[in-house]
Structure 1
Protein backbone atom coordinates (compact mmCIF):
# COMPACT_ATOMS: atom_id res chain seq x y z
CA UNK A 1 0.00 0.00 0.00
CA UNK A 2 1.33 3.43 -0.90
CA UNK A 3 1.85 5.84 1.99
CA UNK A 4 2.30 9.57 1.99
CA UNK A 5 5.91 10.76 2.04
CA UNK A 6 6.53 12.95 5.10
CA UNK A 7 7.89 16.46 4.60
CA UNK A 8 11.66 16.22 4.74
CA UNK A 9 13.27 18.24 7.51
CA UNK A 10 16.20 19.28 5.31
CA UNK A 11 13.81 21.04 2.92
CA UNK A 12 12.34 23.10 5.76
CA UNK A 13 15.71 24.02 7.22
CA UNK A 14 17.04 24.89 3.78
CA UNK A 15 14.22 27.39 3.35
CA UNK A 16 14.84 28.87 6.79
CA UNK A 17 18.57 29.19 6.08
CA UNK A 18 17.85 30.98 2.80
CA UNK A 19 15.63 33.52 4.53
CA UNK A 20 18.29 34.06 7.21
CA UNK A 21 20.94 34.68 4.56
CA UNK A 22 18.73 37.22 2.84
CA UNK A 23 18.16 39.01 6.16
CA UNK A 24 21.88 38.95 6.94
CA UNK A 25 22.69 40.40 3.53
CA UNK A 26 20.23 43.25 4.08
CA UNK A 27 21.67 43.94 7.53
CA UNK A 28 25.27 43.87 6.23
CA UNK A 29 24.38 46.18 3.39
CA UNK A 30 22.84 48.61 5.84
CA UNK A 31 26.00 48.65 7.97
CA UNK A 32 28.71 48.51 5.34
CA UNK A 33 27.39 50.21 2.25
CA UNK A 34 28.21 53.92 2.49
CA UNK A 35 25.66 56.50 1.58
CA UNK A 36 27.81 57.70 -1.33
CA UNK A 37 27.45 54.33 -3.06
CA UNK A 38 23.68 54.20 -2.58
CA UNK A 39 22.55 57.70 -1.68
CA UNK A 40 19.02 58.66 -0.83
CA UNK A 41 17.79 61.41 -3.15
CA UNK A 42 17.28 64.82 -1.54
CA UNK A 43 13.64 64.97 -2.54
CA UNK A 44 12.97 61.95 -0.31
CA UNK A 45 14.54 63.54 2.76
CA UNK A 46 12.83 65.86 5.20
CA UNK A 47 14.02 69.40 5.82
CA UNK A 48 15.46 68.37 9.17
CA UNK A 49 17.45 65.57 7.55
CA UNK A 50 18.73 67.93 4.84
CA UNK A 51 19.96 70.40 7.46
CA UNK A 52 21.77 67.64 9.33
CA UNK A 53 23.66 66.35 6.31
CA UNK A 54 24.80 69.82 5.19
CA UNK A 55 28.51 70.13 6.16
CA UNK A 56 29.29 72.61 8.96
CA UNK A 57 31.99 75.25 8.64
CA UNK A 58 34.33 72.90 10.41
CA UNK A 59 33.50 70.20 7.83
CA UNK A 60 31.47 68.05 10.15
CA UNK A 61 27.96 66.80 9.39
CA UNK A 62 25.73 63.72 9.54
CA UNK A 63 26.47 61.12 6.93
CA UNK A 64 23.93 60.89 4.21
CA UNK A 65 21.75 57.80 4.92
CA UNK A 66 22.24 54.93 2.53
CA UNK A 67 19.35 53.45 0.58
CA UNK A 68 19.10 50.27 2.65
CA UNK A 69 18.72 52.10 5.91
CA UNK A 70 16.21 54.53 4.41
CA UNK A 71 13.96 51.96 2.83
CA UNK A 72 14.12 49.59 5.81
CA UNK A 73 13.12 52.37 8.19
CA UNK A 74 10.38 53.58 5.90
CA UNK A 75 8.79 50.18 5.23
CA UNK A 76 9.72 48.28 8.36
CA UNK A 77 6.07 47.42 9.12
CA UNK A 78 5.59 46.02 5.63
CA UNK A 79 8.85 44.08 5.81
CA UNK A 80 7.81 42.70 9.20
CA UNK A 81 4.53 41.50 7.69
CA UNK A 82 6.37 39.78 4.85
CA UNK A 83 8.66 38.02 7.33
CA UNK A 84 5.66 36.93 9.44
CA UNK A 85 3.92 35.61 6.33
CA UNK A 86 7.02 33.68 5.33
CA UNK A 87 7.27 32.16 8.81
CA UNK A 88 3.61 31.14 8.63
CA UNK A 89 4.13 29.50 5.24
CA UNK A 90 7.13 27.60 6.57
CA UNK A 91 5.05 26.39 9.52
CA UNK A 92 2.18 25.30 7.26
CA UNK A 93 4.37 23.23 4.90
CA UNK A 94 5.00 20.33 7.34
CA UNK A 95 1.47 20.57 8.78
CA UNK A 96 -0.01 20.28 5.28
CA UNK A 97 2.04 17.18 4.61
CA UNK A 98 0.99 15.65 7.89
CA UNK A 99 -2.68 16.33 7.13
CA UNK A 100 -2.33 14.60 3.75
CA UNK A 101 -0.68 11.64 5.38
CA UNK A 102 -3.42 11.42 8.03
CA UNK A 103 -6.11 11.54 5.30
CA UNK A 104 -4.45 8.71 3.40
CA UNK A 105 -4.07 6.60 6.53
CA UNK A 106 -7.72 7.20 7.45
CA UNK A 107 -8.84 6.28 3.94
CA UNK A 108 -6.68 3.16 3.97
CA UNK A 109 -8.08 2.02 7.33
CA UNK A 110 -11.68 2.64 6.17
CA UNK A 111 -11.21 0.86 2.85
CA UNK A 112 -11.10 -2.75 4.10
CA UNK A 113 -14.23 -2.51 6.30
CA UNK A 114 -16.10 -1.06 3.33
CA UNK A 115 -14.90 -3.94 1.12
CA UNK A 116 -16.05 -6.42 3.80
CA UNK A 117 -19.46 -4.72 3.88
CA UNK A 118 -19.76 -4.95 0.08
CA UNK A 119 -18.90 -8.65 0.11
CA UNK A 120 -21.39 -9.27 2.94
CA UNK A 121 -24.10 -7.56 0.89
CA UNK A 122 -23.24 -9.74 -2.12
CA UNK A 123 -23.52 -12.88 0.03
CA UNK A 124 -26.85 -11.69 1.44
CA UNK A 125 -28.25 -11.08 -2.06
CA UNK A 126 -27.17 -14.57 -3.14
CA UNK A 127 -28.77 -16.06 -0.02
CA UNK A 128 -32.08 -14.30 -0.68
CA UNK A 129 -31.96 -15.46 -4.30
CA UNK A 130 -31.63 -19.06 -3.10
CA UNK A 131 -34.49 -18.57 -0.66
CA UNK A 132 -36.70 -17.54 -3.55
CA UNK A 133 -36.78 -21.22 -4.54
CA UNK A 134 -39.00 -21.84 -1.48
CA UNK A 135 -41.79 -19.95 -3.22
CA UNK A 136 -41.52 -22.34 -6.17
CA UNK A 137 -41.76 -25.34 -3.85
CA UNK A 138 -44.84 -23.95 -2.16
CA UNK A 139 -46.45 -23.27 -5.54
CA UNK A 140 -45.66 -26.85 -6.56
CA UNK A 141 -47.38 -28.10 -3.39
CA UNK A 142 -50.50 -26.09 -4.18
CA UNK A 143 -50.62 -27.38 -7.77
CA UNK A 144 -50.30 -30.99 -6.62
CA UNK A 145 -52.98 -30.45 -3.99
CA UNK A 146 -55.38 -28.93 -6.55
CA UNK A 147 -54.80 -31.43 -9.39
CA UNK A 148 -54.68 -34.78 -7.58
CA UNK A 149 -56.76 -36.54 -4.98
CA UNK A 150 -55.21 -36.26 -1.51
CA UNK A 151 -55.20 -40.01 -1.01
CA UNK A 152 -53.17 -40.51 -4.21
CA UNK A 153 -50.42 -38.02 -3.33
CA UNK A 154 -50.66 -38.05 0.45
CA UNK A 155 -47.15 -39.32 1.20
CA UNK A 156 -45.45 -37.17 -1.44
CA UNK A 157 -47.22 -33.97 -0.42
CA UNK A 158 -46.60 -34.67 3.25
CA UNK A 159 -42.89 -35.15 2.62
CA UNK A 160 -42.73 -31.94 0.54
CA UNK A 161 -44.50 -29.94 3.25
CA UNK A 162 -42.14 -31.17 5.96
CA UNK A 163 -39.07 -30.57 3.78
CA UNK A 164 -40.28 -27.05 3.02
CA UNK A 165 -40.94 -26.34 6.70
CA UNK A 166 -37.43 -27.47 7.64
CA UNK A 167 -35.85 -25.41 4.85
CA UNK A 168 -37.83 -22.29 5.77
CA UNK A 169 -37.02 -22.70 9.46
CA UNK A 170 -33.29 -23.10 8.74
CA UNK A 171 -33.34 -20.14 6.36
CA UNK A 172 -35.13 -18.02 8.95
CA UNK A 173 -32.53 -18.81 11.62
CA UNK A 174 -29.67 -18.03 9.24
CA UNK A 175 -31.21 -14.78 8.09
CA UNK A 176 -31.85 -13.65 11.66
CA UNK A 177 -28.09 -13.92 12.19
CA UNK A 178 -27.49 -11.84 9.05
CA UNK A 179 -29.96 -9.20 10.17
CA UNK A 180 -28.30 -8.98 13.60
CA UNK A 181 -25.01 -7.94 11.94
CA UNK A 182 -26.65 -4.80 10.50
CA UNK A 183 -28.20 -3.01 13.51
CA UNK A 184 -28.07 0.50 12.01
CA UNK A 185 -31.57 1.74 11.22
CA UNK A 186 -32.18 2.39 7.54
CA UNK A 187 -34.66 1.56 4.82
CA UNK A 188 -32.77 -1.68 4.21
CA UNK A 189 -32.78 -2.71 7.88
CA UNK A 190 -36.52 -2.06 8.01
CA UNK A 191 -36.98 -4.19 4.88
CA UNK A 192 -34.98 -6.98 6.54
CA UNK A 193 -37.37 -6.99 9.50
CA UNK A 194 -40.37 -7.01 7.17
CA UNK A 195 -38.90 -9.95 5.28
CA UNK A 196 -38.38 -11.89 8.51
CA UNK A 197 -42.02 -11.26 9.46
CA UNK A 198 -43.13 -12.39 5.99
CA UNK A 199 -41.04 -15.57 6.39
CA UNK A 200 -42.67 -16.28 9.76
CA UNK A 201 -46.11 -15.77 8.17
CA UNK A 202 -45.17 -18.17 5.38
CA UNK A 203 -44.05 -20.79 7.88
CA UNK A 204 -47.28 -20.46 9.86
CA UNK A 205 -49.39 -20.63 6.69
CA UNK A 206 -47.52 -23.75 5.59
CA UNK A 207 -48.12 -25.38 8.97
CA UNK A 208 -51.83 -24.62 8.67
CA UNK A 209 -51.79 -25.98 5.13
CA UNK A 210 -50.19 -29.19 6.43
CA UNK A 211 -52.92 -29.48 9.06
CA UNK A 212 -55.59 -28.88 6.45
CA UNK A 213 -54.08 -31.50 4.14
CA UNK A 214 -53.94 -34.12 6.90
CA UNK A 215 -57.50 -33.22 7.95
CA UNK A 216 -58.63 -34.19 4.45
CA UNK A 217 -56.82 -37.51 4.82
CA UNK A 218 -58.18 -38.11 8.33
CA UNK A 219 -54.62 -38.18 9.74
CA UNK A 220 -55.16 -35.78 12.65
CA UNK A 221 -53.62 -36.87 15.94
CA UNK A 222 -56.21 -35.58 18.35
CA UNK A 223 -54.34 -37.15 21.23
CA UNK A 224 -51.47 -34.69 20.77
CA UNK A 225 -53.80 -31.71 20.80
CA UNK A 226 -54.38 -31.34 17.04
CA UNK A 227 -57.85 -30.22 15.94
CA UNK A 228 -59.45 -31.41 12.75
CA UNK A 229 -60.24 -28.61 10.31
CA UNK A 230 -63.66 -28.21 8.82
CA UNK A 231 -64.04 -28.09 4.99
CA UNK A 232 -64.45 -24.31 5.23
CA UNK A 233 -61.25 -23.99 7.30
CA UNK A 234 -59.43 -26.17 4.78
CA UNK A 235 -60.43 -23.84 1.93
CA UNK A 236 -59.41 -20.81 4.01
CA UNK A 237 -56.00 -22.38 4.62
CA UNK A 238 -55.68 -23.03 0.88
CA UNK A 239 -56.31 -19.33 0.10
CA UNK A 240 -53.99 -18.13 2.88
CA UNK A 241 -51.01 -20.15 1.66
CA UNK A 242 -51.39 -18.59 -1.79
CA UNK A 243 -51.65 -15.02 -0.48
CA UNK A 244 -48.79 -15.52 1.97
CA UNK A 245 -46.52 -16.98 -0.72
CA UNK A 246 -47.15 -13.97 -2.98
CA UNK A 247 -46.47 -11.50 -0.12
CA UNK A 248 -43.28 -13.34 0.83
CA UNK A 249 -41.97 -13.29 -2.75
CA UNK A 250 -42.69 -9.57 -3.03
CA UNK A 251 -40.88 -8.88 0.25
CA UNK A 252 -37.90 -10.88 -0.99
CA UNK A 253 -37.70 -8.90 -4.25
CA UNK A 254 -38.03 -5.52 -2.51
CA UNK A 255 -35.29 -6.38 -0.05
CA UNK A 256 -32.94 -7.52 -2.80
CA UNK A 257 -33.59 -4.30 -4.71
CA UNK A 258 -32.52 -2.21 -1.68
CA UNK A 259 -29.50 -4.42 -1.09
CA UNK A 260 -28.35 -3.93 -4.69
CA UNK A 261 -28.53 -0.15 -4.17
CA UNK A 262 -26.51 -0.45 -0.95
CA UNK A 263 -23.99 -2.65 -2.75
CA UNK A 264 -23.44 -0.08 -5.51
CA UNK A 265 -22.99 2.65 -2.89
CA UNK A 266 -20.47 0.53 -0.98
CA UNK A 267 -18.30 -0.16 -4.04
CA UNK A 268 -18.47 3.53 -4.99
CA UNK A 269 -17.13 4.44 -1.54
CA UNK A 270 -14.39 1.82 -1.91
CA UNK A 271 -13.24 3.40 -5.19
CA UNK A 272 -13.31 6.88 -3.60
CA UNK A 273 -11.18 5.70 -0.68
CA UNK A 274 -8.73 4.03 -3.07
CA UNK A 275 -8.29 7.31 -4.95
CA UNK A 276 -7.57 9.10 -1.68
CA UNK A 277 -5.02 6.48 -0.69
CA UNK A 278 -3.24 6.68 -4.06
CA UNK A 279 -3.40 10.48 -4.30
CA UNK A 280 -0.02 12.20 -4.47
Structure 2
Protein backbone atom coordinates (compact mmCIF):
# COMPACT_ATOMS: atom_id res chain seq x y z
CA UNK A 1 0.00 0.00 0.00
CA UNK A 2 1.38 3.39 -0.97
CA UNK A 3 1.84 6.02 1.77
CA UNK A 4 0.13 9.36 1.16
CA UNK A 5 2.86 11.91 2.00
CA UNK A 6 1.21 14.92 0.40
CA UNK A 7 0.76 16.77 3.70
CA UNK A 8 4.38 16.17 4.71
CA UNK A 9 5.59 17.40 1.33
CA UNK A 10 3.39 20.49 1.60
CA UNK A 11 4.68 21.28 5.08
CA UNK A 12 8.28 20.81 3.98
CA UNK A 13 7.70 23.07 0.98
CA UNK A 14 6.12 25.67 3.26
CA UNK A 15 9.11 25.66 5.62
CA UNK A 16 11.69 25.77 2.83
CA UNK A 17 9.77 28.42 0.96
CA UNK A 18 9.53 30.53 4.09
CA UNK A 19 13.26 30.18 4.72
CA UNK A 20 14.15 31.23 1.18
CA UNK A 21 11.68 34.09 1.29
CA UNK A 22 13.16 35.25 4.59
CA UNK A 23 16.67 35.27 3.14
CA UNK A 24 15.56 37.26 0.09
CA UNK A 25 13.56 39.66 2.21
CA UNK A 26 16.53 40.21 4.49
CA UNK A 27 18.68 41.33 1.57
CA UNK A 28 15.97 43.50 0.07
CA UNK A 29 15.04 45.06 3.38
CA UNK A 30 18.58 45.77 4.60
CA UNK A 31 18.29 49.56 3.92
CA UNK A 32 14.92 49.63 5.68
CA UNK A 33 16.38 47.83 8.69
CA UNK A 34 19.25 50.33 8.83
CA UNK A 35 16.75 53.20 8.88
CA UNK A 36 14.76 51.47 11.59
CA UNK A 37 17.97 51.06 13.64
CA UNK A 38 18.76 54.79 13.32
CA UNK A 39 15.21 55.70 14.37
CA UNK A 40 15.49 53.48 17.44
CA UNK A 41 18.75 55.10 18.45
CA UNK A 42 17.27 58.58 18.10
CA UNK A 43 14.27 57.58 20.19
CA UNK A 44 16.62 56.14 22.78
CA UNK A 45 14.99 52.69 22.38
CA UNK A 46 16.86 49.40 22.44
CA UNK A 47 17.39 48.00 18.96
CA UNK A 48 16.81 44.28 18.71
CA UNK A 49 17.82 43.89 15.11
CA UNK A 50 16.00 43.67 11.80
CA UNK A 51 13.88 40.87 13.19
CA UNK A 52 12.10 43.40 15.38
CA UNK A 53 11.17 45.46 12.33
CA UNK A 54 9.77 42.46 10.44
CA UNK A 55 7.93 41.17 13.48
CA UNK A 56 6.21 44.47 14.16
CA UNK A 57 5.31 44.92 10.49
CA UNK A 58 4.22 41.35 9.71
CA UNK A 59 3.28 39.81 13.06
CA UNK A 60 -0.23 38.88 11.82
CA UNK A 61 1.18 37.05 8.79
CA UNK A 62 3.80 35.30 10.92
CA UNK A 63 1.10 34.18 13.35
CA UNK A 64 -0.99 32.86 10.44
CA UNK A 65 1.95 30.88 9.04
CA UNK A 66 2.71 29.36 12.43
CA UNK A 67 -0.98 28.54 12.89
CA UNK A 68 -1.09 26.85 9.49
CA UNK A 69 1.93 24.74 10.35
CA UNK A 70 0.40 23.68 13.66
CA UNK A 71 -2.91 22.86 11.91
CA UNK A 72 -1.10 20.70 9.36
CA UNK A 73 0.72 18.85 12.10
CA UNK A 74 -2.54 18.26 14.01
CA UNK A 75 -4.66 17.33 10.97
CA UNK A 76 -2.21 14.94 9.35
CA UNK A 77 -3.00 11.97 11.68
CA UNK A 78 -6.74 12.56 11.16
CA UNK A 79 -6.23 12.71 7.39
CA UNK A 80 -4.26 9.48 7.43
CA UNK A 81 -6.97 7.82 9.52
CA UNK A 82 -9.64 8.90 7.00
CA UNK A 83 -7.54 7.52 4.15
CA UNK A 84 -7.12 4.24 6.01
CA UNK A 85 -10.87 3.93 6.60
CA UNK A 86 -11.58 4.67 2.93
CA UNK A 87 -9.16 1.96 1.83
CA UNK A 88 -10.61 -0.50 4.32
CA UNK A 89 -14.15 0.24 3.11
CA UNK A 90 -13.09 -0.20 -0.52
CA UNK A 91 -11.47 -3.55 0.32
CA UNK A 92 -14.65 -4.80 2.01
CA UNK A 93 -16.83 -3.60 -0.88
CA UNK A 94 -14.48 -5.28 -3.36
CA UNK A 95 -15.05 -8.64 -1.66
CA UNK A 96 -18.83 -8.14 -1.81
CA UNK A 97 -18.78 -7.21 -5.50
CA UNK A 98 -16.50 -10.14 -6.36
CA UNK A 99 -18.81 -12.54 -4.53
CA UNK A 100 -21.78 -11.14 -6.45
CA UNK A 101 -19.92 -11.64 -9.75
CA UNK A 102 -19.08 -15.24 -8.84
CA UNK A 103 -22.70 -15.92 -7.87
CA UNK A 104 -23.88 -14.56 -11.21
CA UNK A 105 -21.33 -16.75 -13.01
CA UNK A 106 -22.78 -19.68 -11.06
CA UNK A 107 -26.03 -19.27 -13.01
CA UNK A 108 -24.40 -20.21 -16.31
CA UNK A 109 -24.89 -24.00 -15.89
CA UNK A 110 -28.59 -23.30 -15.25
CA UNK A 111 -28.76 -21.27 -18.46
CA UNK A 112 -27.23 -24.19 -20.37
CA UNK A 113 -29.88 -26.50 -18.86
CA UNK A 114 -32.63 -24.12 -19.97
CA UNK A 115 -31.27 -24.12 -23.50
CA UNK A 116 -31.22 -27.93 -23.45
CA UNK A 117 -34.90 -27.88 -22.48
CA UNK A 118 -35.63 -25.50 -25.32
CA UNK A 119 -34.01 -27.94 -27.75
CA UNK A 120 -36.26 -30.74 -26.46
CA UNK A 121 -39.33 -28.51 -26.80
CA UNK A 122 -38.26 -27.58 -30.32
CA UNK A 123 -37.99 -31.28 -31.22
CA UNK A 124 -41.53 -31.89 -29.93
CA UNK A 125 -42.87 -28.95 -31.94
CA UNK A 126 -41.14 -30.24 -35.06
CA UNK A 127 -42.66 -33.72 -34.63
CA UNK A 128 -46.09 -32.24 -34.00
CA UNK A 129 -46.09 -29.84 -36.95
CA UNK A 130 -43.83 -31.36 -39.58
CA UNK A 131 -44.05 -35.17 -39.46
CA UNK A 132 -46.50 -37.96 -40.16
CA UNK A 133 -47.73 -38.94 -36.71
CA UNK A 134 -48.35 -42.52 -37.78
CA UNK A 135 -44.64 -42.83 -38.54
CA UNK A 136 -43.18 -40.62 -35.81
CA UNK A 137 -45.28 -41.27 -32.73
CA UNK A 138 -42.55 -43.52 -31.31
CA UNK A 139 -40.13 -40.57 -31.51
CA UNK A 140 -42.21 -38.48 -29.11
CA UNK A 141 -41.47 -40.21 -25.83
CA UNK A 142 -37.74 -39.54 -25.48
CA UNK A 143 -37.69 -35.72 -25.92
CA UNK A 144 -40.92 -35.42 -23.94
CA UNK A 145 -39.43 -37.40 -21.06
CA UNK A 146 -36.22 -35.34 -21.07
CA UNK A 147 -38.24 -32.13 -21.11
CA UNK A 148 -40.57 -33.22 -18.31
CA UNK A 149 -37.78 -34.54 -16.07
CA UNK A 150 -35.57 -31.48 -16.57
CA UNK A 151 -37.97 -28.58 -16.28
CA UNK A 152 -38.82 -28.99 -12.59
CA UNK A 153 -35.13 -29.08 -11.70
CA UNK A 154 -34.44 -25.97 -13.76
CA UNK A 155 -37.42 -24.11 -12.33
CA UNK A 156 -36.29 -24.89 -8.78
CA UNK A 157 -32.78 -23.57 -9.50
CA UNK A 158 -34.23 -20.49 -11.18
CA UNK A 159 -36.54 -19.70 -8.26
CA UNK A 160 -33.67 -20.15 -5.78
CA UNK A 161 -31.58 -17.66 -7.76
CA UNK A 162 -34.52 -15.28 -7.94
CA UNK A 163 -34.77 -15.39 -4.13
CA UNK A 164 -30.99 -14.86 -3.83
CA UNK A 165 -30.64 -11.95 -6.27
CA UNK A 166 -34.11 -10.42 -6.08
CA UNK A 167 -36.17 -9.15 -8.98
CA UNK A 168 -34.79 -5.60 -9.14
CA UNK A 169 -33.04 -4.31 -12.24
CA UNK A 170 -33.20 -5.60 -15.79
CA UNK A 171 -31.60 -8.97 -15.01
CA UNK A 172 -33.92 -9.53 -12.04
CA UNK A 173 -37.00 -8.71 -14.11
CA UNK A 174 -35.89 -11.02 -16.92
CA UNK A 175 -35.17 -13.79 -14.41
CA UNK A 176 -38.77 -13.54 -13.15
CA UNK A 177 -40.12 -13.46 -16.70
CA UNK A 178 -38.05 -16.52 -17.56
CA UNK A 179 -39.59 -18.45 -14.65
CA UNK A 180 -43.07 -17.43 -15.79
CA UNK A 181 -42.20 -18.39 -19.37
CA UNK A 182 -40.95 -21.82 -18.34
CA UNK A 183 -44.13 -22.48 -16.36
CA UNK A 184 -46.21 -21.46 -19.36
CA UNK A 185 -44.14 -23.66 -21.69
CA UNK A 186 -44.44 -26.63 -19.32
CA UNK A 187 -48.24 -26.34 -19.36
CA UNK A 188 -48.25 -25.89 -23.15
CA UNK A 189 -46.05 -28.95 -23.76
CA UNK A 190 -48.30 -30.94 -21.43
CA UNK A 191 -51.33 -30.04 -23.54
CA UNK A 192 -49.38 -30.67 -26.75
CA UNK A 193 -48.49 -34.15 -25.50
CA UNK A 194 -52.13 -34.93 -24.74
CA UNK A 195 -53.13 -33.69 -28.19
CA UNK A 196 -50.43 -35.81 -29.83
CA UNK A 197 -51.45 -38.94 -27.92
CA UNK A 198 -55.09 -38.22 -28.73
CA UNK A 199 -54.22 -38.11 -32.43
CA UNK A 200 -52.14 -41.31 -32.40
CA UNK A 201 -52.92 -44.02 -29.86
CA UNK A 202 -55.85 -42.20 -28.26
CA UNK A 203 -56.24 -40.99 -24.71
CA UNK A 204 -57.39 -43.15 -21.84
CA UNK A 205 -61.16 -42.47 -21.74
CA UNK A 206 -61.14 -42.96 -17.98
CA UNK A 207 -59.14 -39.74 -17.60
CA UNK A 208 -59.43 -37.68 -20.82
CA UNK A 209 -61.57 -37.24 -23.87
CA UNK A 210 -59.83 -37.23 -27.21
CA UNK A 211 -59.00 -33.80 -28.60
CA UNK A 212 -61.02 -32.34 -31.42
CA UNK A 213 -59.32 -30.73 -34.43
CA UNK A 214 -59.69 -27.16 -33.08
CA UNK A 215 -58.33 -28.28 -29.70
CA UNK A 216 -55.29 -29.79 -31.40
CA UNK A 217 -54.69 -26.55 -33.32
CA UNK A 218 -55.08 -24.52 -30.12
CA UNK A 219 -52.57 -26.74 -28.29
CA UNK A 220 -50.10 -26.29 -31.14
CA UNK A 221 -50.56 -22.51 -31.29
CA UNK A 222 -50.12 -22.08 -27.53
CA UNK A 223 -46.98 -24.23 -27.53
CA UNK A 224 -45.49 -22.23 -30.41
CA UNK A 225 -46.35 -18.88 -28.80
CA UNK A 226 -44.95 -19.85 -25.39
CA UNK A 227 -41.80 -21.30 -26.98
CA UNK A 228 -41.07 -18.23 -29.12
CA UNK A 229 -41.84 -15.83 -26.26
CA UNK A 230 -39.48 -17.70 -23.95
CA UNK A 231 -36.74 -17.75 -26.60
CA UNK A 232 -36.81 -13.93 -26.71
CA UNK A 233 -36.68 -13.70 -22.91
CA UNK A 234 -33.74 -16.11 -22.69
CA UNK A 235 -31.77 -14.20 -25.35
CA UNK A 236 -32.32 -10.90 -23.55
CA UNK A 237 -31.45 -12.46 -20.19
CA UNK A 238 -28.15 -13.88 -21.46
CA UNK A 239 -27.09 -10.51 -22.92
CA UNK A 240 -27.97 -8.53 -19.77
CA UNK A 241 -26.61 -11.23 -17.47
CA UNK A 242 -23.21 -11.30 -19.19
CA UNK A 243 -23.09 -7.49 -19.16
CA UNK A 244 -23.79 -7.43 -15.40
CA UNK A 245 -21.00 -9.93 -14.76
CA UNK A 246 -18.53 -7.81 -16.75
CA UNK A 247 -19.65 -4.66 -14.89
CA UNK A 248 -19.25 -6.39 -11.51
CA UNK A 249 -15.67 -7.40 -12.28
CA UNK A 250 -14.91 -3.88 -13.56
CA UNK A 251 -16.19 -2.40 -10.29
CA UNK A 252 -14.12 -4.91 -8.34
CA UNK A 253 -10.97 -3.82 -10.19
CA UNK A 254 -11.74 -0.14 -9.51
CA UNK A 255 -12.27 -0.87 -5.82
CA UNK A 256 -9.01 -2.82 -5.70
CA UNK A 257 -7.18 0.27 -6.95
CA UNK A 258 -8.76 2.37 -4.18
CA UNK A 259 -7.95 -0.24 -1.57
CA UNK A 260 -4.39 -1.20 -2.48
CA UNK A 261 -2.80 1.47 -4.70
Structure 1 match to 2:24: none
- 3-state SS, counterpart of residue 190 of structure 1: helix
Query: How far 1:277 moved relative to its partner?
Result: 2.2
Structure showing the higher helix proportion among its residues:
2
Aligned to 1:125: 108
How has the CA–CA distance of structure 1 residues 132 and 126 changed in structure 2, closer, same or farther, with 3 Å as cutoff? same
Q: Which residue of 2 aligns with 1:199?
A: 182
Partners of 2:178 and 2:230 within 8 A in 1: yes
**Contact kept in structure 1, 2:113 and 2:154, CA below 8 Å:** no
Partner of 2:156: 173
Q: What is the aligned length?
A: 244
More deviation, 254-263/210-219: 210-219
Q: Answer yes or no: is the 8 Å Cα contact 1:215–1:228 preserved in 2.
A: yes
**Conserved? CA contact 1:205–1:240, under 8 Å:** yes
Matches for 1:57-72 after TM superposition, within 5 Å: 61-72=44-55
Structure 1 unaligned runs (5+)?
20-38, 56-60
Contact in 2 for aligned 1:137/1:164 (Cα 8 Å): yes
Q: Is the 8 A contact 1:4 1:100 kept in 2?
A: no
Q: Give the CA deviation at 1:175.
A: 0.3
- State the 1:143 CA deviation: 2.5
Alignment of 1:3-18 (within 5 A): none
Change (3 A) 1:175 1:263: same
Is it true that 1:245 corresponds to 2:233 in the alignment? no
Q: 1:188 aligns with which of 153, 167, 171?
A: 171
**Which stretch has the larger CA shift, 256-265 or 102-111?**
102-111
Q: Which deviates the most, 142-151 or 228-237?
A: 142-151
Cα deviation code 1:115-148 (max 9, x no counterpart): 1111122222342133112121112122233455
Determine the C-alpha separation between the residues in 2 that align with 1:136 and 1:102.
Answer: 52
Rg (Cα) greater in structure? 1
The question of whether the paired residues in 1 share the 8 Å contact of 2:110 and 2:157 is answered with no
CA deviation after TM superposition for structure 1 residue 152, in Å: 4.8
Q: How big is the shift at 1:242?
A: 2.0
- Work out whether residues 111 and 274 of structure 1, in 8 Å CA contact, stay in contact via their aligned partners in 2: yes
Alignment of 1:1-280 (within 5 A): 40-42=33-35, 44=36, 50=39, 53-54=41-42, 61-146=44-129, 148-150=131-133, 152-154=135-137, 156-183=139-166, 185-217=168-200, 219-224=202-207, 226-279=208-261
Question: TM-score, normalising length from structure 1?
Answer: 0.75
C-alpha displacement at 1:67, in angstroms? 2.1
Question: CA, structure 1 residues 213+232, in 2 after alignment: closer, same or farther (shift >3 Å)?
Answer: same
How far apart are residue 156 of structure 1 and its match? Answer: 4.3
Is the CA contact 2:167–2:176 (under 8 Å) kept in the aligned structure 1?
no
What is the CA RMSD across the aligned residues, in angstroms?
3.2
